[in-house]
Structure 1
């Protein structure tokens, strides 16, 4: 790396003479994007946090191996990717199957807002950044084996050249290109067919109106009104609880059998996670004199109807920055 392209904060001697506080300051600049990268690899917000910490620890211990042939950022991505692969080998020897991911966790939009903004002049990059953080993508990518998963994310999300991915994985360019084609084919089995069939996004005006109607109907426990908002092939899941329900009739039947129509004292707070619309539901607790967290419904919206609902338990509320309770009048 020439002097004019070497990151200024590293100086001419690279990392060898950088003390720990200075090194931490350099690494922290990349924490959020590394966390999102690990989250795409792992599907779990908490596992991603652990892996970023492991990445920084490994980077500090190996700082003298940074030779300046790549940027400091790319060097951290290499370490983070290998840390993810190590964790996957240890905790999840087999990829997900059957269309559900039990370890899936939501990612709050307020933290995604910390990422470097995509270039508005490159609409393809903006679309990729949004779509590859949606739950549909996270679920699909978890069905890939770890190494093809890494290839797909590094090539299609981060835009790394095949030779750099091959070097990271200790493989040939031909093998990387072959793995990428297989990974793309496998992803097509799980993702919506066309880009326009992805979520409408939490900021779309039609989507906001649908979320309002969904919230109102849920608070009223009106199964009929809710059913009218679902597409025939809607899918519902509640990680980490096993089970994936497919089809509007099956979903509605499940709601009825679970006694949803008799539930009283609900409140709903619209929010967004993973760049998707969501509703946080609270249930009245007489003893506490307040509405307490119940569930979070994350919606995928296609053509003005709901095509998927992923429900997360109340233990996610704190991570998402949601209120711990609502007062009797529904305020925080």
Structure 2
């Protein structure tokens, strides 16, 4: 009983059967189509953990992040924050939770108000979420987080257009940090930056996680980026979780053919190893989320698919090592019994 209590106390966020669809208009008199963005998403995050969420564009990664933060209202399921369902909260109650839940956006400059100074941008959440703080206290906190993210205090009265992309993203990170949140959703925070700047921002996030005791959800389409920051990695395909494991497990022994294909896209310096893994290269385009394939949604691009893959939706099942995978043939693929199509 004590062990169970410790597990519960360690869990910060729990997602249960989360679903989200969008209605797509087809014309003046046409019947709207349903775009299934998220389907039966389940996972937990422990305090101090970094969960990477990876997948191609259109797989539902950003939608998932926004549903967790209640920026988009899910259709069904639960978002349990410290055991309390955020979907059941009133707008006033949700506002009180906002200081614990923050987001870093993908495009640093587009996410900043060009008419506000850096100081105004960073302090804006405090005026909304921490009204008990006076002007001096807000100023002190802004200066402190600016220094934490590598911005000089004398930059406080400058405007966003005066900063580079990397500096602008540091402003966005400071804005997310200023309320001293427990969880930050990082929605592809380095994809718009140069490679050298990406490394700086990733190292900064790792340092801030330790300094502030943060829990992170790190969203990216690039597995090589996620690898450096994540304790566990959740692989998303067409709105469904297809694999969930630790970062080391994902990189050393991927189970799902989609995960194997994503790893093939990660550059490696050894030509021999690159040729050996080319057989799992990702083929074709991702299907439309409006008209998804029957059965396993990845089967239309999977070199190991059989006829029965079109008939049965593979459940997300636990396998040895406390991992999860949704594939009917993962054991045969791993053992070498499953021959890939030519």
TM-score normalised according to structure 1 size: 0.26
Q: More strand per residue: 1 or 2? A: 2
TM-score normalised according to structure 2 size: 0.25
Q: More helix per residue: 1 or 2? A: 1
